[in-house]
Amino acid sequence: MGSTLPFLQLDVFTDRPFFGNPVAVVLDADALSTTTMQRIARWTNLSETTFVLRPTDARADYRLRIFTPDRELPFAGHPTLGSARAVLHSGRPTQRDDATLIQECAAGLVRLRRDGNRLFFEVPSARTTPVAETDAAAIAGALGLGTESEQPGFEAIDVGPIWLTATLRDADQVHELAPDFARLADLSRRLGATGVNVHANYPAGYRDRRGEAVQVAVRSFAPAAGVPEDPVCGSGNACVALQRRARGEHHDYTATQGEAIGREGRITVAYRGEAIEVGGNTVVGIEGRINLD
């Protein structure tokens, strides 16, 4: 057998296989070149593929590089959670007990907390800027929001990835969107964003098909990064949590994402003082080795 590395594929933001957002994780990847990492990410054809390396910062437990099929990202949420689960599942040594991990990535150090089978990441420092009205109208049009009264204001929220984020009228409007992905890709590139991210509240007391209470519906579109619709997006949900807090909402909640493409992601958001944590369950789906020769 030629050169191989440990490989896992995990489902994130779900407690059931095949219902969340998969991420491929390659462990012990220090010897791989950037070109090889990008080629592997293009081959897996998942929204993200990650590579776990030795940290360069002594405070971190490991270093992570994150790739879409088209590019490297400084940070992404569901790959962070899935990779942390892979590190713990494979028994890689950590500096602390299993309740806390520190990830090093291009966006800096990210703190993770373990709560049973759920993992939470602390939302990195963010920068928010308003999107010009003409650009917001163009985004709304690309999403299929036809009338002027339905055109929401967008903000560019930078948590590593930059998401053009807006609140819509209600959860039904979120679910009924029929985006023009080519137009969204062009707008995202022109505005220097990863993609477009929308959210809205469910009616009070709403329960999903499993009878679980959920409060917020989310969809995230990143065709410019090779991901027309992200099944369940951690960084997108971080932007939603930041936008909601900026508007005076500080209550923990559970969000849904992925129904439009056959998934049932569940994201838990916790406001802990000045910090915001985004988390959920993770499931190991595939465990083996990837052949590099």
Answer yes or no: 48 catalytic. Answer: yes
Query: What count of Cα atoms within 13 Å lies in the side-chain half-sphere of residue 258?
Result: 24
Which of 48, 229, 264, 277 is the catalytic position? 48
3-class secondary structure, 244? helix
User: Any idea which residue has 């070109």 for tokens?
Assistant: 35
Q: Say which residues have a Cβ less than 8 Å from residue 49's Cβ, sequence separation at least 6.
A: 23, 24, 25, 26, 37, 40, 41, 66, 67, 79
| Residue type at position 75 | F
Separate counts of helices (H) and strands (E) for the chain: 6, 17
**Of the candidates 28, 159, 20, the residue with the CA atom closest to the CA atom of residue 78:** 20
Q: Are 221 and 230 in contact (CB under 8 A)?
A: yes
Q: Give the active site residues.
A: 48
